[in-house]
Chains A and B, each alone.
Chain A
């Protein structure tokens, strides 16, 4: 065997092993959204509470977290305490607001979910036919989007938000772009 072949063989083996080593830390479930850094679809939809429309539009100086959920979704129950906490913590911030979108759901189901697990206080759009969810490319629940004051989607997370998400992922963006 020529020495070039020997080196090539060992280099290939080492290369594949290194790749696996690096690959072990990669979260294979993380999928970036093609909507990232694209303008968000504005919507104006009937509120889950029945008290007039819930509107998403670009407002100067205001970041909006849009959270898609449904009463049929088990992970949403797990996520809910953090949403409650986040809403309480950010109630007084002028640069941050939250909107829920209850999709593929019945009104009774959605309201029962809120009365059972607690009402975080912000408003929810009611989207039984998934019009908003389809526009936003939502394929599971929960999914959350962070929209900046210009109306651009800056963050997307498929799956529940975790405690500390706001400080770790949202704050750097919000502070990096002062109102």
Chain B
């Protein structure tokens, strides 16, 4: 019953979305605002209908309605309730519905929030986002419907893929999708700005919070994915440059470029076309990400659906959207008047320009690495794979360049700066960089990338710290705030700037994590009998026993390790799990995390009376998760700032 309600609600939402495209456009053509109002009501209605549809699908899961094919494929009677409710996005069909639902909610929110403030843009925004929504709903209804019945119903379902029964994987898709979908709003405003010819700064100011929010969601989503890969897949790493990981990373890179370059347009009215290009590209890459995952065009662990029919549809949909967007941009670009020019290569705007160039080159690098195997295979029938050696070679130097710019950016003023003043401002950070280099060499870091990263971390940290302290001094001197309160008041005064600082610090923490885990991972591959011991770094591991454990939907072989380390003794228990309804065993790594390093043990196959054991020492890996937390915190601080920062240089 519920599934039919969900199905009809989705069909109704499609019809309403079509109204949402047509009505505002009619309203503009006829000059009748009442039609635009119809479009607005349509946005609210489709959000309500899709909420009902999602609720219906989730209820079908909770009621174990195995006559619904999608439920039977992704749940079973003994699936825990938490995974039962979230299995809705455990497969292709449901996750597309989730995508559409987020989009409809965001459209409704935008229609409510920007209705009064942006009367000229809103009809176009509604029509454009309505088109995207309708495109996704057509896909959900006709090509990958989660609402199909399967009669007679099986007595039990096939269960959720065991790898997805993990908290990291429960949160990864929704966050990622909120990021992808969220960029749709600034994109639609950008298109509206082009269509109305009002390509001043207004669309950027209007969507600043949307952009920040989406960027934070995308960042969190990507990190959840990495966290899941680390904890659940049992190969000791967190990022493999898999095509679909790249697909989520590319919009992140262009969005990061966009976040920075909009500041230049706000302050100096530069980069107008460039910003339009960046946001269009970001949203296009978000769609591309969906296409890559959902069409099976690239083989990858993520390509669940290998269905060319679907692929053709998504491709046509994407072609229409891309050609419209970039075509509009190209057609209207000449009407953008650029009054200002870069005054000097030594200025903050040119630092942002370089930041953007680096990020774009990084995006191109990833895009090339992702598409190259497909191109070679399509054109020549040979097989190639592009893996981490390529990315490490090309990507890391670019990221180091970005770190350098990150240190320079905040201390260099707008418009122009005198060379000696700039050098003086950078003197102390440079000394800190040299100090960090010496420290890194002293700690035995020999790899050039490791040394360079350490140096840059010192440089950036001190350049940010000095800037903050100088501002703090000025403030305490002027207002007489107490030393304890002053930092918070200062941050509160300019949340946007200092939120950005916090994000930057998060990136530094992460960079330390990347270097630690990337360059200093130690791995051992052993065959061990009960009673055997091995030494890994500061840890001494003794294999003390092997046993069986069971939970309601799996059985496992569990090994026990007594680990003696600096903090005393601990017991670690890696498992090899066999879920009842799945043939493939999964590994549950046993992980002991400290701020210095993770100890990571994986139980493998049995070979006669011995067991294959892999253990890793992963230095500084928790710094990656902490860094991500800081980045999220920074965005929250930054989001606190309204639009009141538009100061003109006198």
Please state if B383 and A21 are interface contacts (CB–CB under 8 Å).
Answer: no
Q: Which listed residue, B291, B326, B379, touches A10 by the CB 8 Å rule? A: B326
User: Which residues of the partner chain B approach A17 to less than 8 Å between Cβ atoms?
Assistant: 315, 318-319, 322
Please state if A23 and B297 are interface contacts (CB–CB under 8 Å).
Answer: yes
Least Cβ–Cβ distance between A134 and chain B, in angstroms = 15
Please state if A20 and B297 are interface contacts (CB–CB under 8 Å).
Answer: yes
**Cα distance A10–B330 in the bound complex, in angstroms:** 8
Number of interface residues of A (CB under 8 A): 19
User: Which residues of the partner chain B approach A171 to less than 8 Å between Cβ atoms?
Assistant: none
B298 at interface, CB cutoff 8 A: yes
Please state if A13 and B291 are interface contacts (CB–CB under 8 Å).
Answer: no
Least Cβ–Cβ distance between B106 and chain A, in angstroms = 25
Please state if B326 and A13 are interface contacts (CB–CB under 8 Å).
Answer: yes
User: Which residues of the partner chain A approach B273 to less than 8 Å between Cβ atoms?
Assistant: 1
Q: Which listed residue, A1, A6, A9, A24, touches B311 by the CB 8 Å rule? A: A24
Known: A20-B295, A25-B308. 7 other contacts (CB 8 A): A1-B334, A10-B326, A13-B322, A20-B374, A26-B378, A28-B296, A29-B306
A177 at interface, CB cutoff 8 A: no
User: Which residues of the partner chain B approach A28 to less than 8 Å between Cβ atoms?
Assistant: 296-299, 303, 306, 377
**Cα distance A146–B486 in the bound complex, in angstroms:** 79
9 shortest interchain CB distances as A-B pairs: A28-B299, A1-B333, A6-B330, A22-B378, A23-B374, A24-B311, A23-B297, A23-B378, A17-B319
Closest to B298 in A: A28
**Cα distance A22–B380 in the bound complex, in angstroms:** 12
Closest to A32 in B: B383
User: Which residues of the partner chain B approach A16 to less than 8 Å between Cβ atoms?
Assistant: 288, 371
**Cα distance A22–B376 in the bound complex, in angstroms:** 11
Those of A1-40 within 8 Å (CB) of chain B: 1, 6, 9-10, 13, 16-17, 19-26, 28-29, 31-32
**Contacts A20-B315, A29-B299 known; A1 to B374 CB distance under 8 Å?**
no
**Contacts A9-B326, A24-B308 known; A19 to B375 CB distance under 8 Å?**
yes
User: Which residues of the partner chain A approach B374 to less than 8 Å between Cβ atoms?
Assistant: 19-20, 23, 26
Closest to B382 in A: A32
User: Which residues of the partner chain A approach B330 to less than 8 Å between Cβ atoms?
Assistant: 1, 6, 9-10
Please state if A31 and B383 are interface contacts (CB–CB under 8 Å).
Answer: yes
Interchain Cβ contacts under 8 Å between A and B, 26 examples: A1-B330, A6-B330, A6-B333, A9-B277, A13-B284, A13-B322, A13-B323, A16-B371, A17-B315, A17-B319, A17-B322, A19-B374, A19-B375, A20-B295, A20-B297, A22-B378, A22-B379, A23-B378, A24-B295, A24-B311, A28-B296, A28-B298, A28-B306, A29-B306, A32-B382, A32-B383
Closest to A34 in B: B383
Closest to A22 in B: B378
Which of A17, A24, A29 has the largest number of chain B CB atoms within 10 A?
A24
B167 at interface, CB cutoff 8 A: no
Least Cβ–Cβ distance between B294 and chain A, in angstroms = 12
**Cα distance A106–B531 in the bound complex, in angstroms:** 31
Least Cβ–Cβ distance between B376 and chain A, in angstroms = 11
B327 at interface, CB cutoff 8 A: yes
B240 at interface, CB cutoff 8 A: no
User: Which residues of the partner chain B approach A32 to less than 8 Å between Cβ atoms?
Assistant: 382-383
B312 at interface, CB cutoff 8 A: yes
Please state if B371 and A26 are interface contacts (CB–CB under 8 Å).
Answer: no
Please state if B296 and A21 are interface contacts (CB–CB under 8 Å).
Answer: no
Closest to B377 in A: A26
**Cα distance A32–B322 in the bound complex, in angstroms:** 35
User: Which residues of the partner chain A approach B375 to less than 8 Å between Cβ atoms?
Assistant: 19, 23
**Cα distance A132–B322 in the bound complex, in angstroms:** 52
**Cα distance A1–B328 in the bound complex, in angstroms:** 13
Encoded as 1 (CB less than 8 Å from any B CB) or 0, chain A from 89 to 123 comes to 00000000000000000000000000000000000
User: Which residues of the partner chain B approach A19 to less than 8 Å between Cβ atoms?
Assistant: 371, 374-375, 378
**Cα distance A9–B383 in the bound complex, in angstroms:** 28
User: Which residues of the partner chain B approach A25 to less than 8 Å between Cβ atoms?
Assistant: 308
**Cα distance A17–B320 in the bound complex, in angstroms:** 10
Least Cβ–Cβ distance between A1 and chain B, in angstroms = 4
Least Cβ–Cβ distance between A35 and chain B, in angstroms = 14
Least Cβ–Cβ distance between A19 and chain B, in angstroms = 6
User: Which residues of the partner chain B approach A13 to less than 8 Å between Cβ atoms?
Assistant: 284, 322-323, 326
Least Cβ–Cβ distance between A158 and chain B, in angstroms = 13
User: Which residues of the partner chain A approach B319 to less than 8 Å between Cβ atoms?
Assistant: 17
Please state if B383 and A24 are interface contacts (CB–CB under 8 Å).
Answer: no
**Cα distance A10–B326 in the bound complex, in angstroms:** 7
User: Which residues of the partner chain A approach B323 to less than 8 Å between Cβ atoms?
Assistant: 13
Closest to A16 in B: B371
User: Which residues of the partner chain A approach B308 to less than 8 Å between Cβ atoms?
Assistant: 24-25
User: Which residues of the partner chain A approach B284 to less than 8 Å between Cβ atoms?
Assistant: 13
Please state if A24 and B297 are interface contacts (CB–CB under 8 Å).
Answer: yes
Least Cβ–Cβ distance between A66 and chain B, in angstroms = 22
**Cα distance A134–B326 in the bound complex, in angstroms:** 52
Least Cβ–Cβ distance between A76 and chain B, in angstroms = 14
Which of B288, B296, B306, B374 has the largest number of chain A CB atoms within 10 A?
B374
User: Which residues of the partner chain B approach A20 to less than 8 Å between Cβ atoms?
Assistant: 291, 295, 297, 315, 374
User: Which residues of the partner chain B approach A10 to less than 8 Å between Cβ atoms?
Assistant: 326-327, 330
Least Cβ–Cβ distance between B332 and chain A, in angstroms = 10
Closest to B367 in A: A16
Closest to B295 in A: A24
**Cα distance A22–B312 in the bound complex, in angstroms:** 10
**Cα distance A20–B314 in the bound complex, in angstroms:** 11
**Cα distance A31–B384 in the bound complex, in angstroms:** 10
User: Which residues of the partner chain B approach A6 to less than 8 Å between Cβ atoms?
Assistant: 330, 333
Those of B498-512 within 8 Å (CB) of chain A: none
Please state if A24 and B322 are interface contacts (CB–CB under 8 Å).
Answer: no
User: Which residues of the partner chain A approach B329 to less than 8 Å between Cβ atoms?
Assistant: 9
Least Cβ–Cβ distance between A157 and chain B, in angstroms = 15
Closest to B318 in A: A17
Those of B268-305 within 8 Å (CB) of chain A: 273, 277, 284, 288, 291, 295-299, 303
Please state if A24 and B315 are interface contacts (CB–CB under 8 Å).
Answer: yes
User: Which residues of the partner chain B approach A21 to less than 8 Å between Cβ atoms?
Assistant: 315
Which of A1, A10, A19 has the largest number of chain B CB atoms within 10 A?
A1
Please state if B326 and A24 are interface contacts (CB–CB under 8 Å).
Answer: no
Least Cβ–Cβ distance between A23 and chain B, in angstroms = 5
Least Cβ–Cβ distance between A18 and chain B, in angstroms = 10
Closest to B373 in A: A28
Least Cβ–Cβ distance between B289 and chain A, in angstroms = 13
Least Cβ–Cβ distance between B287 and chain A, in angstroms = 12
Those of B353-378 within 8 Å (CB) of chain A: 371, 374-375, 377-378
**Cα distance A24–B313 in the bound complex, in angstroms:** 11
**Cα distance A115–B296 in the bound complex, in angstroms:** 39
User: Which residues of the partner chain B approach A26 to less than 8 Å between Cβ atoms?
Assistant: 297, 374, 377-378
Closest to A21 in B: B315
Least Cβ–Cβ distance between A27 and chain B, in angstroms = 9
**Cα distance A21–B329 in the bound complex, in angstroms:** 24
Least Cβ–Cβ distance between A16 and chain B, in angstroms = 7
Those of B188-237 within 8 Å (CB) of chain A: none
Least Cβ–Cβ distance between A21 and chain B, in angstroms = 6
User: Which residues of the partner chain A approach B371 to less than 8 Å between Cβ atoms?
Assistant: 16, 19
